Structure 1
Amino acid sequence: MSEQDVVTEAAAKAPTRSRENTRTRLLDAAEQVFAEVGLGETSVEAICERAGFTRGAFYSNFESKDELFVELAGRFASRQVEGVRERVAAMIECGPETGAGEDDMVGLVEALDVPGDVRLGVLLMSEIRNRAMRDAKTAEAYLAQDAQLVREVSQLLEEVTHAKGLRLVLPADDAARFVLNAWEGAASRAIIAGLPEKELQEARAQEVGRIAHLIIEQG
């Protein structure tokens, strides 16, 4: 590649990086404002002010506030999957000789927690789901993300059960759905009850333990 080609390629990539940085800052700002006032009260103006951009910058990256929040929910889900992947890698590295059973599945689901505020993630997903019930475009995006998350967790469940000498007693996709519903349901109830973080984690672990007895058996 000639020097001119290198310069041209670098110049072409610069706007892309700048756009990605702008989108990331807008998403970060939206997450902060949402945590403070909720989805309904989070305005485009408040997001732009927090991010340090104009409305023009917002609408050059997102068609609407709904589109931004669907992407924000997707980013949260991606963090969940990455956390699970790291947990699975650690489980597989330990090997089956370390024991297998309920604790493995509990640990797997606990890995769905992402760095930061667990409550924020649960509240975000809940409000996005509620919005999806009323708006077809949001519903389409939400369902696509939800299906992807189930596929990812399904694959990870198959990997860890195989590595630990376990067997799922129902199809992996169904098991993944049970796991995800158990995690979110326990977290939601704990949040509604106003439990502190430690008790929230304990409640979630207990719920996951009950689910583990239903979906796995020794190989």
Structure 2
Amino acid sequence: MFAEVGLDAASVETICERAGFTRGAFYSNFESKDELFLALITQLSEDKLDEVSVRVKKLSGSRDVVDLVRQIASMSLAERMEPQLLSEVRTQALRDPRLAEAFLAWRAQMLGRIETIVRDVSELHALPLRMPVADAAVLLLDISEQCSVQAALERLSERQANRAMQSRLEQVVPLLVGPV
């Protein structure tokens, strides 16, 4: 619903109807649509980062950065992380300070997870980073989000979107690795 019509236009009644729950069930789990919305993007993000974390632990011993990017990105990175949802929450957060605070907390949580993944790859494969792990995580998250938005605007299939993101990561990640 949120991706289709946006946060404001998605009524609690419509959300409950589509999900097969009552208003009472909704309000026993969430204080507001904003809380549900943040829970939704958190779950989608966590699921994707869990998949990436598992993939990182199974990487071959390669020190070829592009090969490592291909191994990690061979899963569908664009899957289920609707750029419409992220755009919607950003737009709403610009207007609502409480939602902005919650969005920034969510983003910090995601960045922490990405930092762990970057650190794991760097350490497991003896690949020194040219910048602090936190900066690399921000850059990679920004690239991922921008690639997702661009793919949605271009109406790319999931496969095409994943390939576009993989291609961008293959260009950028080698610039992050190596002696300072």
TM-score, scaled relative to structure 2: 0.88
How far 1:44 moved relative to its partner?
A: 0.3
1:104 aligns with 2:68: yes
How far 1:199 moved relative to its partner?
A: 2.1
Equivalent residues in 2 for 1:15-54 (5 A)? 33-54=1-22
1:148 aligns with 2:116: no
Decide which structure has greater helix share: 1
Give % identity. Answer: 36
The equivalent of 1:183 in structure 2 is 144
Q: Which has the larger radius of gyration?
A: 1
How far 1:171 moved relative to its partner?
A: 0.2
CA contact (8 A) 2:76 2:162 kept: no
1:166 aligns with 2:127: yes
Report the 3-state secondary structure (helix = DSSP H, G, I; strand = E; otherwise coil) of the residue aligned with 2:128: strand
Change (3 A) 1:109 1:171: farther
Change (3 A) 1:107 1:113: same
1:126 aligns with 2:94: no
CA contact (8 A) 1:73 1:124 kept: yes
Structure 1, unmatched stretches of 5+, are 1-32
How far 1:136 moved relative to its partner?
A: 1.3
Whichever residue aligns with residue 186 of structure 1, its letter is C
How far 1:156 moved relative to its partner?
A: 1.3
The equivalent of 1:81 in structure 2 is 49
CA contact (8 A) 2:130 2:179 kept: no
Structure 2, unmatched stretches of 5+, are none
Change (3 A) 1:139 1:124: same
Alpha-carbon distance between aligned partners in 2 of 1:193 and 1:187, rounded to the nearest angstrom: 10
Report the 3-state secondary structure (helix = DSSP H, G, I; strand = E; otherwise coil) of the residue aligned with 2:145: helix
How far 1:64 moved relative to its partner?
A: 1.1
Alpha-carbon distance between aligned partners in 2 of 1:56 and 1:140, rounded to the nearest angstrom: 27
How far 1:133 moved relative to its partner?
A: 1.1
Alpha-carbon distance between aligned partners in 2 of 1:110 and 1:183, rounded to the nearest angstrom: 14
